[in-house]
Amino acid sequence: MAIIQLKEVTKQYRSKNALRGISFDIEENTITGLIGRNGAGKTTLLKIITGHIKATSGEAKVFGKQPFDQLTISANSIFVDDQMSFPESLTLYEILEKAESFYKNWDNELALRLFEYFSFHKKQYHSELSKGMKSTFHSIIGIASRCPLTIFDEPTTGMDSSVRKDFYRALLKDYIAHPRTIILSSHLLGEIEELLENILLLKEGEVVLHQSIDDMKELAIALRGNKNTIKQFIPSLDVYHEHRISEDFTYIVVENRFNKTELQKIKEANIEVNRVPTDDLCVFLTSKTKGGIDDVFQRS
């Protein structure tokens, strides 16, 4: 069952279109990675889904209802980002105690165990925390709330590497025990791909692709070798990225439509064949040019 349904949704701020007629469904009890560069429209999209802002045009439905200013959506979702605010008079511990009255599935025991694990203190205040510690505290609330729709918008901002890994593992373990619909927004797919079932990739307010993470891993293939030889094998394929290594030697990423026999012929032609890391593929698919930053240094 689709928990989120968007049809031709557009969001315009004055003369700028943050979202450009996007359409997709997200199924119940799945983890979807929302990936895109800064300014791609990720946060705008998430705020529409959670009812924080209204779409300019198109149709958005969450739990079968239009999400803007909808109590049902508010009661069954949580939006975790670095802008979360709390009463300044409450300590962190008191915030956790009060959270149970806002989230019907709140697991206070889990929240307190995570609170202790990440070395918070009962008398600390939110305003005293570093950026990374704030992100960690927000993530505790996001996990322990166990909302049917849980959204994390760049949740690991400021966290060090070990804390990020602990957060991802905690999220996955609790999701397995208590499935719900989770959207995890990030521009670092490489860190989160093992958590994801699906990926939604945005570029300049448009959906570039929406598919399973397994399908994405098979979407493209990298070829390295003599440029003219490679070109013989890819006359009708989409080229996602290309950069020259030397005068006649090149690296090209193309759509993967080769069968085993064709791949063997490519290898026999002294062309190196490799998989494309998903993080790299996202960069290539959202780049404005085929060569990326290298194009800046090309002389006409």
Domains of the chain: 2-216 (3.40.50.300), 219-298 (3.30.70)
Instruction: Indicate the average pLDDT of the chain.
Output: 93
For 228-262, the pLDDT digits (tens) are: 999 999 999 999 999 888 888 999 999 999 999 99
Q: What is the mean pLDDT of residues 93-107?
A: 94
pLDDT range class, residue 298, cuts 50, 70, 90: low
The secondary structure of the chain, three-state, reads CEEEEEEEEEEEECCEEEEEEEEEEEECCCEEEEECCCCCCHHHHHHHHCCCCCCCEEEEEECCECCCCCHHHHHCEEEECCCCCCCCCCEHHHHHHHHCCCCCCCCHHHHHHHHHHCCCCCCCEHHHCCHHHHHHHHHHHHHHHCCCEEEEECCCCCCCHHHHHHHHHHHHHHHHHCCCEEEEEECCHHHHCCCCCEEEEEECCEEEEEEEHHHHHCCEEEEEEEHHHHHHHCCCCCEEEEEECCCCEEEEEEECCCCHHHHHHHHHCCCEEEECCHHHHHHHHHCCCCCHHHHHHCCC
For 33-75, the pLDDT digits (tens) are: 999 998 899 999 999 999 999 999 999 999 999 999 889 899 9
The pTM score is: 0.92
Q: What is the pLDDT, as a whole number, of residue 292?
A: 64
